[in-house]
C-alpha cells in the first residue's frame, strides 16, 4: 500500500473513533413512560348490562373514576403500566374489587358480575402492637364479596386481594430506628373500608451519656446523664474498683432521661458502669459503658513533650516522644489535621508565621530543626555554635524555648552543661542568623525561663527563673518595631520562683502567675486587677475566658484541678477536681471550649505502647447561664 493511501485510511479510522466516542459520551435519555388501557363490561347475575355503575381505578399515585354507559361498558385510557385495583360500586348491589396489571402498552379487559344485595365485611383486628424484631400476624376477614388490602409503608408486606371469608398475613421488618413507628393497613370493599393500626416499638438504645463534674465550691457531687430513645427503668452498677460511690437515680422526660450522682467523677476521667435496663415493653437489656467527664477526648501515640497554640490555623500543635512525632490538631473538634514522624527526639516547639515554618528542638542537642508548616517536611537544621559570650568548657547551646514575632524576629533560650542560662536573638529574615543583642549583659542575671508572644505578635515577653533580687519578678519585653527591650514590674510583687505568664490572645492584657500573688495587668496602660493567692509551685497553666464580658476571668489548671478565677470580684465561683497530670490549658477564641492534655507514662493495657490524651470541655460547665 502506498504511503499516501495508508495515511488517508488511518485518518478515516481516527475520525470514525472520535465520532463514536462523542456519541457514546452523550447523557442517557430518560425512557419514555409507557401507557396502556383498561376496559370491561358490568353485568348483573342475570347477565343484564348495568349502566351508571361507578368504576374506580387506584394505584401508583393515580386515582380515576368513570361510570358505565347504557350498554354497561367502561374504559380507562392512558394509564401508566403497573398494578392497579379496580373497584365497582352500585347502589343495591354488592361491590366488587379486582387487581389488574398493565404490562407494556397492553389493553386489559376486566368484566364484572354484580350480585344484588348489600356488601358487608369485618376484620378480626383494628390495631396491633408489635416488638422491634421482624415478624408476622394473621388477620381474619368475614365478607360476602372481594376485598383489597393496602399499605403505603415499605416496612409492611401483605397480600393484596381476597374474596369472601378468609384471612391475610401481615409481615413487618425489624425496626432499626430510634423511634416507635406507625403503619395503617386499609382493607376495603368499594366505599367500605376498615383500618388496622400497626404500632412497632423500637429497640431500647442508649443514645447519649455524659459525665457532669460537681462544683467543689458548692460541695456538689459529679453526676451522670443517660438519654434513652424510650421510657426505661435502670439499675446502675459502678465497676471502677477504686470507687464504690452510691448511686441515687432520678428520672426525667417521661423516663427517657436518667440521672444519678457519682461522687468519684473528675474532669478528664472515664468510668465504667454496668446498666441493667428494662424498657416500656418489659424487655430486659444489659449494657456496659464508660462515661467520660469531658466533651471530647483524643488519644495520640507517644508522650506529649511540648505544645503550641496556633490561632492563625485554629490548631493545637504537639510534639511527642516514643514515638517521636508532631501533630496538628483542630481546636474545633480535636481531629488530627496532620501528623509526621520525626527522626529525632523533640523537646520544644514553636511556629514562625513569617516564614510559615515549624521550629523544633532536639533532645540534648545544640540544634533546631525547621519544618515546612504545610508538608511538615524537614527544610533545614540549624546548628547552634558557641560565641565569645559563651566560651566556657561546658557550652550553653541547647535550646529550651523559642518564640517569634510576626516580622520574623525571635528569641531562643539556651542551656547546657553549666548552671548558667543564656539567650540569643534569631532573625529568620536573615537566614536564621543568631546574634547577641546589646541588651544582653553577661554579668547580670538575665536567666529567662520562658518566652511568650503577645496577641498580635508585635512583642515578646520574657519572665525570669531568678534575678539578683529574689523579690523582683520583673518582666522583660521585646518590641519588634524598635528592636529594643524594656522592663516591666507588676504593681504587686512576689518571689519570681515558679512564675509563669499568659498573654491574652485578643488584647494587651497579661496574666502574671507569681507565687502566692496572681493578677491581670496591662503593661501598656499599667492597669492591674485584684489579686489571688494561689500556690503556683505545681506546674500550672492558665488562659483567659474569651467570652464577651468575661475579660477578667481566668481558667486555671494546676494538674489536679481546673478553677475559674474572677478577678473583677476577687472570687472563685467554680472549682472542679480533675485527674492528675493535666497541662497546657488553652481556651478557644470563640469562648466555647477549653483544652488540656495529659502526658506521661500512660501504657495501653497489655502493651508497651505509650499514649497521651487531649481533652476538650465546654465552657458552659463554668457558667450559670
Q: Which residues contact 154 (CB under 8 A, 6 or more apart)?
A: none
pLDDT at 603: 67
pLDDT at 241: 79
Q: Lowest mean pLDDT: which of 155-159, 264-268, 469-473, 568-572?
A: 469-473
Domains and CATH numbers, the chain: 35-114 (2.60.40.10), 121-200 (2.60.40.10), 206-292 (2.60.40.1220), 506-625 (2.130.10.10)
* pTM exceeding 0.85: no
pLDDT at 495 over 80: no
pLDDT at 331: 97
Model confidence pLDDT, tens digit, residues 61-117: 888 999 999 999 999 999 999 888 888 988 888 888 888 888 887 889 999 998 888
Q: What is the mean pLDDT of residues 149-165?
A: 88
| Cβ atoms of 190 and 88 closer than 8 Å | yes
Which residue's C-alpha cell is 505502647?
609
pLDDT at 35 over 50: yes
- Burial grade of 439 (CB within 10 A; 0-12, 13-18, 19 or more): middle
- Burial grade of 187 (CB within 10 A; 0-12, 13-18, 19 or more): buried
Taking only Cα atoms into account, the Rg of the chain, rounded to an integer number of angstroms, comes to 40
Label residue 362 by pLDDT band (50, 70, 90).
very high
Cα 165 → chain centroid: 57
φ, ψ for residue 6, nearest 5 deg: -60, -45
pLDDT at 594 over 80: yes
Check residue 267 and report its DSSP letter: B
- Burial grade of 71 (CB within 10 A; 0-12, 13-18, 19 or more): exposed
| Cβ atoms of 325 and 318 closer than 8 Å | no
* Helix or strand holding residue 14 (H, E): helix 3-24
Model confidence pLDDT, tens digit, residues 415-460: 876 556 788 999 999 999 999 888 876 545 567 889 999 999 999 9
Q: What is the mean pLDDT of residues 178-183?
A: 94
| Cβ atoms of 520 and 550 closer than 8 Å | no
- CA–CA separation, 552 vs 557, rounded Å? 16
- CA–CA separation, 263 vs 258, rounded Å? 16
pLDDT at 18: 46
Q: Which residues contact 454 (CB under 8 A, 6 or more apart)?
A: 460, 461, 503, 508, 510
- CA–CA separation, 426 vs 411, rounded Å? 6
Beta bridge pairs of residue 188: 148, 193
Q: Which residues contact 218 (CB under 8 A, 6 or more apart)?
A: none
Tally DSSP H helices, then E strands, for the chain.
1, 52
Please state, in angstroms and as integers, the Cα–Cα distance from residue 325 to each residue in 116, 198, 328, 340, 481, following that order.
89, 58, 10, 6, 35
pLDDT at 225 over 60: yes
Q: Which residues contact 388 (CB under 8 A, 6 or more apart)?
A: none
Name the percent of the chain lying above pLDDT 70.
88
| Cβ atoms of 421 and 464 closer than 8 Å | no
Give the three cell numbers for residue 111: 368484566
Q: What does the mean pLDDT of the chain come to?
A: 88
pLDDT at 338 over 80: yes
Cα–Cα–Cα angle for 138, 144, 147, rounded to 5 degrees: 50
- Parallel, antiparallel, or unpaired for β 582-587 and 270-279? unpaired
pLDDT at 9: 46
| Cβ atoms of 302 and 321 closer than 8 Å | yes
Model confidence pLDDT, tens digit, residues 550-560: 999 999 999 88
- CA–CA separation, 176 vs 302, rounded Å? 40
pLDDT at 466: 57
- Parallel, antiparallel, or unpaired for β 127-130 and 192-200? parallel
Query: Which range has highest mean pLDDT (374-378, 386-390, 617-621)?
Result: 374-378
pLDDT at 393 over 70: no
| Cβ atoms of 599 and 301 closer than 8 Å | no
pLDDT at 19 over 90: no
pLDDT at 471 over 60: no
Mapping DSSP to helix (H, G, I), strand (E, B) and coil, where does residue 9 land?
helix
Cα 429 → chain centroid: 40
- CA–CA separation, 361 vs 349, rounded Å? 7
pLDDT at 438: 84
| Cβ atoms of 562 and 582 closer than 8 Å | yes
Mapping DSSP to helix (H, G, I), strand (E, B) and coil, where does residue 416 land?
coil
pLDDT at 441: 64
Q: Which residues contact 349 (CB under 8 A, 6 or more apart)?
A: 305, 306, 307, 308, 317, 318, 319, 326, 358, 359, 360, 361
- CA–CA separation, 273 vs 226, rounded Å? 12
| Cβ atoms of 360 and 401 closer than 8 Å | no
Amino acid at each position: 500500500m502506498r504511503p499516501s493511501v495508508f495515511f488517508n485510511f488511518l485518518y478515516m479510522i481516527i475520525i470514525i473513533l472520535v465520532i463514536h466516542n462523542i456519541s457514546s459520551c452523550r447523557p442517557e435519555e430518560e425512557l419514555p413512560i409507557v401507557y396502556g388501557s383498561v376496559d370491561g363490561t358490568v353485568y348483573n347475575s342475570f347477565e343484564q348490562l348495568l349502566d351508571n355503575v361507578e368504576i374506580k381505578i387506584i394505584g401508583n399515585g393515580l386515582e380515576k373514576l368513570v361510570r358505565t354507559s347504557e350498554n354497561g361498558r367502561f374504559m380507562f385510557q392512558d394509564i401508566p403500566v403497573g398494578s392497579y385495583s379496580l373497584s365497582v360500586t352500585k347502589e343495591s348491589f354488592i361491590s366488587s374489587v379486582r387487581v389488574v396489571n398493565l404490562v407494556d402498552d397492553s389493553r386489559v379487559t376486566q368484566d364484572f358480575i354484580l350480585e344484588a344485595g348489600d356488601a358487608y365485611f369485618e376484620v378480626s383486628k383494628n390495631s396491633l402492637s408489635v416488638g422491634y424484631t421482624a415478624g408476622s400476624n394473621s388477620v381474619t376477614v368475614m365478607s360476602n364479596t372481594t376485598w383489597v388490602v393496602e399499605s403505603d409503608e415499605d416496612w409492611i408486606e401483605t397480600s393484596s386481594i381476597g374474596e369472601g371469608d378468609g384471612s391475610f398475613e401481615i409481615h413487618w421488618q425489624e425496626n432499626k430506628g430510634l423511634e416507635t413507628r406507625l403503619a395503617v393497613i386499609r382493607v376495603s370493599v368499594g366505599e367500605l373500608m376498615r383500618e388496622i393500626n400497626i404500632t412497632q416499638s423500637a429497640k431500647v438504645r442508649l443514645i447519649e451519656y455524659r459525665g457532669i463534674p460537681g462544683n467543689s465550691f458548692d460541695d456538689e457531687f459529679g453526676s451522670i446523664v443517660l438519654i434513652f430513645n424510650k421510657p426505661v427503668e435502670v439499675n446502675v452498677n459502678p465497676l471502677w474498683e477504686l470507687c464504690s460511690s452510691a448511686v441515687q437515680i432520678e428520672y426525667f422526660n417521661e423516663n427517657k432521661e436518667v440521672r444519678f450522682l457519682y461522687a468519684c467523677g473528675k474532669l478528664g476521667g472515664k468510668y465504667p458502669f454496668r446498666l441493667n435496663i428494662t424498657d416500656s415493653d418489659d424487655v430486659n437489656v444489659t449494657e456496659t459503658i464508660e462515661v467520660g467527664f469531658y466533651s471530647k477526648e483524643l488519644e495520640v501515640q507517644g508522650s506529649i513533650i511540648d505544645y503550641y497554640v496556633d490561632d492563625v490555623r485554629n490548631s493545637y500543635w504537639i510534639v511527642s516522644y516514643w514515638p517521636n512525632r508532631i501533630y496538628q490538631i483542630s481546636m474545633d473538634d480535636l481531629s488530627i489535621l496532620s501528623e509526621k514522624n520525626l527522626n529525632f527526639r523533640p523537646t520544644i516547639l514553636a511556629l514562625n508565621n513569617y516564614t510559615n515554618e515549624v521550629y523544633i528542638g532536639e533532645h540534648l542537642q545544640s540544634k533546631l530543626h525547621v519544618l515546612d508548616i504545610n508538608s511538615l517536611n524537614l527544610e533545614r537544621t540549624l546548628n547552634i555554635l558557641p560565641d565569645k559570650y559563651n566560651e566556657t568548657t561546658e557550652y550553653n547551646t541547647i535550646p529550651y524555648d523559642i518564640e517569634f514575632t510576626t516580622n520574623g524576629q525571635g528569641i531562643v533560650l539556651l542551656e547546657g552543661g553549666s548552671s548558667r542560662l543564656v539567650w540569643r536573638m534569631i532573625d529568620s529574615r536573615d537566614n536564621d542568623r543568631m546574634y547577641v543583642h546589646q541588651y544582653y549583659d553577661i554579668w547580670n542575671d538575665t536567666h529567662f525561663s520562658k518566652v511568650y508572644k503577645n496577641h498580635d505578635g508585635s512583642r515578646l515577653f520574657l519572665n525570669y527563673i531568678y534575678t539578683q533580687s529574689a523579690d523582683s519578678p520583673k518582666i522583660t519585653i521585646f518590641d519588634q518595631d524598635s528592636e529594643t527591650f524594656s522592663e516591666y514590674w507588676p504593681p504587686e510583687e512576689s518571689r519570681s520562683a515558679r512564675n509563669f505568664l499568659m498573654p491574652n490572645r485578643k488584647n494587651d492584657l497579661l496574666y502574671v502567675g507569681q507565687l502566692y500573688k496572681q493578677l491581670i495587668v496591662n503593661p501598656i496602660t499599667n492597669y492591674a486587677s485584684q489579686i489571688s493567692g494561689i500556690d503556683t509551685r505545681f506546674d500550672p497553666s492558665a488562659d483567659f475566658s474569651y467570652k464577651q464580658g468575661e475579660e477578667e476571668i481566668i481558667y486555671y489548671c494546676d494538674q489536679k484541678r481546673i478553677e475559674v478565677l474572677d478577678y473583677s470580684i476577687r472570687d472563685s465561683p467554680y472549682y472542679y477536681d480533675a485527674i492528675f497530670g493535666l497541662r497546657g490549658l488553652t481556651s478557644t477564641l470563640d469562648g466555647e471550649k477549653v483544652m488540656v492534655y495529659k502526658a506521661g507514662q500512660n501504657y495501653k493495657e497489655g502493651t508497651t505502647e505509650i499514649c497521651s490524651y487531649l481533652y476538650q470541655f465546654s465552657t458552659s460547665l463554668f457558667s450559670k447561664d
